[in-house]
Structure 1
Amino acid sequence: MLRTQFEEDLLNLHNQFYEMGMMVSKAIHKSVRSYVKHDKALAKEVIEQDEHINDLEILLEKKSFEMIALQQPVTTDLRKIITVMKASSDLERMGDHAVSIAKSTIRVKGQERIAEVEKDISDMSDYVKKMVDNILVAYVKTNQEDAKMIAKMDQRVNEYYEKIYYETIAAMKANPETVVSGTDYINVAQYLERIGDYVTNICEWIVYLATGKISELSSNRDESL
């Protein structure tokens, strides 16, 4: 009986984690769409919905601690619970970065925009969202090979960031009117780049879930971010 209850609790934990991941994926997509389309109402929606993401993380952490304390799981079961705890913390931070992008949308005044940079930011966010969606599938399947492949995708995110950074600096030098929006572009690209880093963290937790080993899948992680 106890075992069945534990398995049910574990399944709920997984389902709630997946639900949280889907919410974060939507938040990232909406935040960038609001930024590129200058849609302040959509940006406010992202900020308001972040409360649900934060609530889910607290719920998952509380439930995880309860299950460890009451059921004293070992080996694979314990790894499953630890993975949810650690990875949900990464998801919550990804949601925070989506909120930061949404706040940039609300701050934007009618300043000079740089169309080609906005196109790159939009492309970068589509790519990051694809990473987030892929990692949720890899998590459900506990597929460490997929997780390792997704971690490698982060290199492309870093390349997007560099391209946007240098493009923006060049535009700001050519036209001082773009300095305010340009600074925002660099910030938004940086938020997306950090989301990519958090996806890589989750990749590492999936490998841990599958093997019991902590792996370093990113070669250029800045732990201070």
Structure 2
Amino acid sequence: MNSEHIVKSFDEELQQLNTVVLRMGGVAEAQFAGAVDAMVRRDSALAEKVVKGDEAIDQMDLELDEDAIRTLALRQPMANDLREVISALKISSDLERIGDYAKNIAKRTIALNQLAHHEAVRSIPRMAKLVQAIIKDVLDAYANHDSNRALDVWHRDEEVDEMYTALFRELLTYMMEDPRNITPCTHLLFIAKNVERIGDHATNIAETTHYLTTGKRIEGGRPKSDTTSFQVVEPEDNQDAQDGKKKEGV
């Protein structure tokens, strides 16, 4: 096999990794959009579809892991090529987690639909719309190796945190006003936290994309405006934590 053919086949392998990442990104976007739509429309059937659809993202994540490990073992890439492979691995992991959080939103929606409609639901779609735009932009940044766009996404995470903090306070107020609001607002708190965490993973992808493109880390600490953990114990989705431990073999 001549060197030209080796280089061509290696380029094709790197392109395949890129293609799988972008395909995963498209599915993760659709899963998140479907979960939010199911919540707004109180559509349990759609929510169930989102829950079942998570398997597709998991399968693509496994496929990419295997391809990346094979490429590392056989090609022993260096410099830019090594960053391409490692970045694909890291981004696929973030996309897999986005899929998990979308699944959790769908599960909470199914539970929420068993209760009377609560007006606080209206506050979540605005936050979700911002996160959806961030996911789209960061995937475009990755596809085009656009470090400036990735940096813009990185800065927008602060806006998501501010919206989450405001929503957190709003839901706590509802619960203090009437004990009957506690159950639906608890589900909405979990949903809001999942949306915020999806934003965090999109920001992770922005950091990885910037490093992939420039070879440099983004300087300074990540801008954060989520102050809820300083007020009360922050809600954490136990099912999500359990799912994560299972995937990590804990």
Normalised by the size of structure 1, how large is the TM-score? 0.94
Q: Which amino acid aligns with 1:82?
A: I
**Paired AA for residue 142 in structure 1:** H
**Equivalent in the alignment of 1:148:** 151
Alignment of 1:24-39 (within 5 A): 24-39=28-43
Question: What runs of 5+ residues in structure 2 fail to find an aligned partner?
Answer: 230-235, 242-250
DSSP 3-state at the match of 1:113? coil
Map Cα deviations across residues 89-132 of structure 1 (whole Å, 9 max, x no partner): 011011100000011012225424332x2122011111111110
Contact 1:172 1:179 in 2 (8 A): yes
Q: Which amino acid aligns with 1:136?
A: L
Give, as a single letter, the amino acid of the residue that structure 2 aligns with 1:77.
D
After TM superposition, which residue ranges in structure 1, 4 or more long, deviate above 4 angstroms? none
Task: Name which of 33, 42, 45 aligns with 1:41.
Answer: 45
Q: Measure the CA separation in 2 of the matches of 1:113 and 1:73.
A: 54
Give distance in 1, aligned partners of 2:58 and 2:223: 29
1:165-191 Cα deviation digits (max 9, x unpaired): 111111122222211100011110000
CA distance in 2, matches of 1:173, 1:114: 15
Is 1:161 aligned with 2:164?
A: yes
Pairing 1:82–2:78 present: no
User: 2:250 aligned with 1:212, yes or no?
Assistant: no
Task: Please tell me whether residue 138 in structure 1 is matched to residue 141 in structure 2.
Answer: yes
Please give the alpha-carbon distance, in whole angstroms, between the structure 1 residues aligned to 2:207 and 2:19. Answer: 20
Partner SS for 1:182: helix
Asked if structure 2 preserves the Cα contact closer than 8 Å seen for 1:47 and 1:102, the reply is yes
Cα distance in structure 2, aligned partners of 1:118 and 1:60: 36
Matched, 1:13 2:25: no
Across the aligned residues of Structure 1 and Structure 2, the Cα RMSD in angstroms comes to 1.8
The Cα offsets for residues 109-165 of structure 1, whole Å up to 9 and x where unpaired, read as 5424332x2122011111111110100100011111111110111111111111111
- 1:88 & 1:195 partners in 2: Cα distance? 13
Q: Secondary structure at the match of 2:46?
A: helix
Identity of aligned residues (%): 31
Distance 1:62 1:155 in 2: 35
Q: CA deviation at 1:217?
A: 5.6
1:54 to 38, 54, 58: 58
In the aligned structure 2, how far is the partner of 1:8 from the partner of 1:180?
52
What is the alpha-carbon distance in structure 2 between the residues aligned to residue 149 and residue 170 of structure 1? Answer: 33
Deviations 1:65-110 (A, max 9, x none): 1111111111111101110001110110111000000110122254
Measured in 1, the distance between the counterparts of 2:11 and 2:211 equals 20
Unaligned runs of 5+ in 1: none
Match of 2:26 in 1: 22
